[in-house]
Amino acid sequence: MHTIIKNACLNMAKDGFEGFYDSLADQLVPNLPTTYRSFIHRTDGATLPLTSVNDALFFSLAYDKGHYLTFSRVLKDRLIFSEEDTVINLIDYGCGQGTATLATLDFIAKSCNPKSTKLNIHLIEQSSIALEIAVYKITARSKQLGFKISLNTQNCFFSEVTLPEFSNNYDTIHLMSYVLDIKSVQEEILTITDQIKDFPGKNFIVATDINKTEGKRGFNLLSIQLTAKKTPIKEYYLPHHRYNICQKSFGTHIADAIGFLLEVDNSISLDLAA
């Protein structure tokens, strides 16, 4: 794994994601691996799969702190865990470098005892580079918090996804962080929703995205396909301190985002059938 990621993960043990980001920034800012204009051109506005470690590092510096804070806030507003949740299934769609899963690990650790909680984690991502980084970061954070985990991955497009068989009766949390605004994801989302509608047990879909028309369109599409109706979308404006890659300086930035939670409870139909 890249030395910068390793060092940042070591800092995460002490200061959480804030520590990870600060270490990342301290190492990258003196010698940025690329320019904003070049990055945006190469990745089509940060929507294409990342193809180099330098682009992955640059993406993290530019976006990850806002993405982490937004996902953490939606989890806090919408989801409740307790000490009774000893096994939790997580599926992260378009996981990137694992930010949404990291936010979820930290959130669960505040409500459950990590040492008596087993997490079954399944990561789905098109970029093999981003996926490798996600696995490293999530494994490191799980050890730091004390979780027992089972971690599996799929390096594929949404149209190729096959959801895992957890073979248990525990709840599954489906994570979708800043992916539903992407046109190709919207075109392929039916592959995912058809499987979620048949996925055993209680399913909670937690989503965050940009507060723009394309983000809301993706949310509505997901909601209609899963519940046959639109779900209310909450707007978030979260100030935070981060490095501005355009201005090349640190300052306060506002994460202008949207989020919601959907529930698909297939345990009801299973109980009735029994």
List, in order, residues 6 or more apart from 31 with CB less than 8 Å away.
none
Burial class (CB in 10 A: 0-12, 13-18, 19+), 243: buried
| Model pLDDT, residue 83 | 65
| Residues 86-107, mean pLDDT to the nearest whole number | 95
Residue 76: CA count within 13 A, CB half-sphere: 10
Count how many domains the chain has. Answer: 1
What global pTM score does this model have?
0.93
Q: Is 262 helix (H, G, I), strand (E, B) or coil?
A: strand
Q: How far apart are the first and last CA of the chain?
A: 48
d(CA 179, CA 24): 23
Residue 97 has pLDDT above 60, yes or no: yes
Count, residues in the chain: 274
d(CA 166, CA 122): 10
Q: CB of 251 within 8 A of CB of 241?
A: yes
- Name the pLDDT band for 273 (thresholds 50, 70, 90): very low
Residue 182 has pLDDT above 80, yes or no: yes
CATH code: domain of residue 131: 3.40.50.150
pLDDT 10s digits, 244-270: 888 788 889 899 999 999 999 887 643
Q: Is 212 helix (H, G, I), strand (E, B) or coil?
A: coil
pLDDT 10s digits, 124-163: 999 999 999 999 999 999 999 999 999 999 999 889 999 9
Residue 168 has pLDDT above 60, yes or no: yes
Question: What six digits make up the tokens of 232?
Answer: 């209310």
The residue segments making up the domain with residue 214 are 3-273
